[in-house]
Amino acid sequence: MKCYLQRLFALALVLILMLCAAPEMPAQAASDTIPEKVELISISSPGYHKITINWKRAAGASQYHIYYKRKGETKWTKIAKVSSSQLSYTHVYSSQFPIVIGRDYTYTVRAYNSMSRHFGDYDHDGLTAQNVPDAVTLRNAIWNAGKTTVTLSWNQTAGGDYYRIYRKSSSAPSWKTIAYVPSDKLSYVDKTAAASEKNIYTVRVYHSKMKVLGQNNSAGITARNYQDAATQAVANKLSKTAAAQKTKQIILVVDHNISFWEKDAQGHWNRKLSAYCGYGSNGMSTDRHEGDRTTPIGSFPILHGFGIADNPGSAMQYRKVTNNSYWSGEYSTYNQWVESTRPVAGEHLISYYQYKYAMAIGFNRNPTIYKKGSAIFLHCKSYDHWSTAGCVSVEESVMKRLLIMSRNGVYMIIVRNQNEIGNY
């Protein structure tokens, strides 16, 4: 009897210990979880036959079920379910769940817990959006050779039966409708643009039956000057250079021609200036060293503008030459601008009238190699000759224009012929 009682006592003790170690049961079992009501954030039509709904995360949700209906209807139609990690959904037109251009559609989202098989409450009003056509992708806006008309072109865009053409300019800065063209046309010739002004265009799809306009490409496209086939060929070469990936402005020297190029908002390279230039009396070289009187071939950043004269209006950094300004040829400061009250070996900048206006070309920098070459500039030409000791020279009027057009970050490419442009 005593052994039996001992065994019974031991068993009771084990049961007590097991109960103490057992985890506390939740107040509400997982099988009874009801997800929170989904809070809707926003709705929009990102393009033709598409509507996107966004919502906040709801506690207790393992899925979200998306519903829609035409505005005014009472019955919701479930169109999709997504995981709890997804907080947005884009409804794309299908024959089963259609979206009609110009119609208003209301959407809501309901959280679902797959363990308890319970739905949460939902926004019974939902959010409403109207489906609209895509924004039009603009291609080009180009003046003709005589600058009397602008030809505007764009890509095919679905969702309407017309394109609506808009224009704004320097004197009329608000968008104004100037024409409608049928949807099978992808270009328009504007005969009323002002040649003396900046003209900007945009195009929107128009659905005439539903009286719905597509999304707006608000940036538009600026009309650029006509470029003949030869000029456009150079532009195409420039666009593929490594320099073109670093900057929106390039000063190009091809033999005795210097030109200034700028990339517009659409990525097109446009020539703004072309003029004659001089260079080293011994030509151009890919292996330049000090004293060989050659102009280096390659791609170089423009470090800054400078001059004996005041800044003519350049937006780029401009350094005024003083009586203490030197471009050093000394070992410790080789190929650098130095301000010094003592004479410095190299060039005393104020002593050269060619430096009335100039730019410092970033040749032999990072690293700087002693005796490879110093003081390589773009500067005003000499009074009686074009050749230089290694710099590039232009007329003073051209030099001023280059400074005025240039901004910080402009690059320079120097080559012997157009076939070499792509190397840089």
- Whether 161 and 295 share a structural domain: no
CA nearest neighbour of 227 among 262, 179, 184: 262
| pLDDT of 65 over the 90 cut | yes
**Which among 365, 364, 413, 120 has a CA at the least distance from the CA of 240?**
413
* Nearest by Cα to 387 from 295, 281, 232: 281
Do 243 and 339 lie in a common domain? yes
Three-state SS sequence of the chain: CHHHHHHHHHHHHHHHHHHHHCCCCCCCCHHHCCCCCCCEEEEEEEECCEEEEEECCCCCCCEEEEEEEECCCCCCEEEEEEECCCCEEEEECCCCCCCCCCCEEEEEEEEEECCCCEECCCCCCCEEEECCCCCCCEEEEEECCCCCCEEEEECCCCCCCEEEEEEEECCCCCCEEEEEEECCCCEEEECCCCCCCCEEEEEEEEECCCCEECCCCCCCEECECCCCHHHHHHHHHHHCCCHHHCCCEEEEEECCEEEEEEECCCCCEEEEEEEECECECCCEECCCCCCCCCEECEEEEEEEEEECCCCCCCCCCEEECCCCEEEECCCCCCCCEEECCCCCCEEEHHHCHHHHCEEEECCCCCCCCCCCCCCCEEEECCCCCCCECCCEEECHHHHHHHHHHCCCCCEEEEECCHHHHHHC
Contact present, 220 and 138 (Cβ < 8 Å)? yes
The per-residue pLDDT for range 165-187, each reduced to its tens digit, is 999 998 999 999 999 999 999 99
CATH number assigned to the domain comprising residue 384: 2.40.440.10
Q: How confident is the model at residue 24 (pLDDT cuts 50, 70, 90)?
A: very low
**β-strand partners of 127:** 107
Look-up: residue for tokens 């049928």? Answer: 182
Instruction: Looking at the structure, tell me whether residues 169 and 65 fall in a common domain.
Output: no
Compute the CA torsion angle 378, 311, 398, 406 (nearest 10 deg): 70
27 band by pLDDT with thresholds 50, 70 and 90 = very low
5 inside domain: no
Q: What is the signed CA dihedral for 364, 370, 372, 375, rounded to 10 degrees?
A: 60
Question: Domain ends where: 85, 103, 130?
Answer: 130
Q: Domain total for the chain?
A: 3
Of 92, 97, 38, which Cα lies nearest the Cα of 70? 97
> Model confidence over 358-378: pLDDT tens digits?
999 999 999 999 999 999 999
CA distance 91 to 69: 12
Write out pLDDT tens, residues 214-262: 989 999 999 988 888 899 999 999 999 999 999 999 999 999 999 999 9
**Positive/negative CA dihedral, 229, 233, 239, 240:** positive
Structure tokens at 31: 């099988």
Percentage of the chain beyond pLDDT 90 is 83
13 band by pLDDT with thresholds 50, 70 and 90? low
Weakest mean pLDDT among 107-121, 212-226, 335-349, 398-412: 212-226
Where in the sequence is the domain holding 246, given as residue range(s)?
229-423
Contact 258, 271 (CB under 8 A): no
The whole-number pLDDT of residue 383 equals 95
Any domain includes 409: yes
| 328, 351: one domain | yes
Task: Quickly state the pLDDT bin for 36 (edges 50, 70, 90).
Answer: very high
Domain boundary among 130, 154, 179: 130
Average pLDDT, the chain: 92
pTM above 0.85, yes or no: no
Q: What pLDDT does residue 95 have? A: 94
The per-residue pLDDT for 47 is: 82
How far is the first Cα of the chain from the last one, in angstroms, to the nearest whole number?
103
Instruction: Please tell me whether the peptide bond between 182 and the residue prior to it is cis, using omega within 30 degrees of 0.
Output: no
> Is the residue at 273 inside a domain?
yes
Q: Is 257 found in the same domain as 384?
A: yes
Examine residue 19 and state whether it is found in any structural domain, yes or no: no
If pLDDT is split at 50, 70 and 90, which confidence band does 22 have? very low
**Residue 30: pLDDT over 80:** no
Residue of higher predicted confidence among 9 and 228? 228
Contact 193, 144 (CB under 8 A): no
Please check whether residues 247 and 181 belong to one and the same domain: no
Please check whether residues 263 and 387 belong to one and the same domain.
Answer: yes
Residues 379 and 395 in one domain: yes
The C-alpha atoms of residue 399 and residue 289 are separated, in whole angstroms, by 26
